[in-house]
Amino acid sequence: MTEELFRLLDLSEKEEMIYETLLKGGPQSVLEISHKTSFNRTFCYDLIEKMIKKGVILQSKSSKKIYQAAPLEQLEILIEKAYLDSKKEIEKLKEVEKSKEDETEMLEFKGHFAVFNLFRRLISQKEEIKSFWSKRVGQLFQEFLEENVKLRINKKIPLKVLTEDSEWTKKWLKKLSFEESHRKIKYLKDFNFDSTIYIFNGEIAIITYKKGNPYGLLIRNKEYYETQKKIFDELWKTT
């Protein structure tokens, strides 16, 4: 019998040894099982009791001190039951996962250090990043953004940017020409963004200034993420 089947029956390694001993040697007493497996007799009794409850060992009707392996046909039934039970558990977990997807989670990042950590989150994953990019935020975080760009390029994370059509933006992005193989950018006329928005990996990151201090908001919500992604994609097509 393979190890995988024993796992399905929830048998430990020592229980496997006892079952195989009975399967090969036929009905036996605890003393015989203890001798063949080199297990302590009391320990054997404890394991046998557990295995009887699991249905893999039968107690002889003629003598309560003789035990035998359950027929393989019975094991097939037990394995099928274990499989069906596991499917039910998986369905329950899927329901839990689905309910989590429908939930909204929001995390605030206040101050320079906290917002830097939010920027780092962007490059802690590998999916494409889509961004509505603000010149104002770029100016305030200029040096840090340049460092973050280098880290993103090393990880080969692609970036699509929609940003305002300004001379400063074009000049600064030209300065970052080393990332052009991993970045696509389009300029929007008559658009001014007060905040930078990143759409990535099922999350939305918003970075701005609040009462003169750097402020970030991370939103996890499937519907909101999909909506923002569609808006970005439509603007990208028409720009």
With a cut of 90, say whether residue 233 has pLDDT above it: yes
Q: Which two tokens stand for residue 140?
A: 């305030």
Tokens 């993420």 correspond to 225
Per-residue pLDDT, 130: 96
- For residue 145, what pLDDT is reported? 72
Range 47-52, long-range pairs (CB < 8 A, 24+ positions)? 47/12, 47/14, 47/15, 47/18, 48/18, 50/15, 51/11, 51/15, 51/18, 51/19
Terminal alpha carbon distance of the chain: 64
- The kind and range of the H/E element at 28 are strand 28-29
Residue (of 80, 198, 68, 178) closest to 132 by Cα position:
198
The dihedral built from the CA positions of residue 161, 133, 232 and 237, taken in this order, carries a sign that is negative
pLDDT tens for 79-107 read 888 777 777 777 777 776 666 656 778 99
Q: What angle do CA 190, 132, 116 make, to 5 degrees?
A: 130
Q: pLDDT tens digits, residue range 42-70? A: 999 999 999 898 888 998 877 668 999 88
Q: Using DSSP, state whether 190 is helix, strand or coil.
A: coil
% of the chain residues with pLDDT over 70: 90
- CB contact at 8 A, 106 and 217: yes
Domains of the chain as residue ranges with CATH = 3-95 (1.10.10.10), 103-238 (3.30.870.10)
Q: Is-contact 209 135, C-beta < 8 A? A: no
pTM to 2 decimal places: 0.57
| Interval 2-25: pLDDT, tens | 666 777 777 888 988 999 999 889
Residue 2: count other Cβ atoms within 10 Å of its Cβ: 7
Helix/strand/coil percent split, the chain, to 5: 55, 20, 20
**Helix H or strand E encompassing 198:** strand 196-200
CA atoms of 30 and 48, how far apart (whole Å): 9
